[in-house]
Amino acid sequence: MNILIEDAETQEYVTSEGRWTKKTNEAKSFATTRAAYSAAQTEPIGNFNIVWSLNDPKQLINLDHGSGKGK
């Protein structure tokens, strides 16, 4: 199980290096939704989703959403 930050507009995921990727297996995984949400609020993005990525990269479950600090 991986908890990821998804840019709601581009559908890209933040990596540990602060880049953005379309590949869930390259995304930074957070221990909790609260940790992911707090981190997402500081990212230079508009709307975001906190998603739970199962082992299949095409199977995502939206857990929460919010807004970052903007572009």
SS (H, E, C) 28-64: CCECCHHHHHHHHCCCCCCEEEEEEECCCCCCEEEEE
How far is residue 22's CA from residue 20's CA, in Å, rounded to a whole number? 7
CA distance linking residue 52 with residue 59, whole number of Å = 9
Task: Kindly report the average pLDDT of the chain as a whole number.
Answer: 88
Check residue 62 and give its pLDDT.
78
- pLDDT of 56 reads 64
Kindly report the pTM of this predicted structure: 0.84
Assess whether pLDDT exceeds 90 at residue 69: no
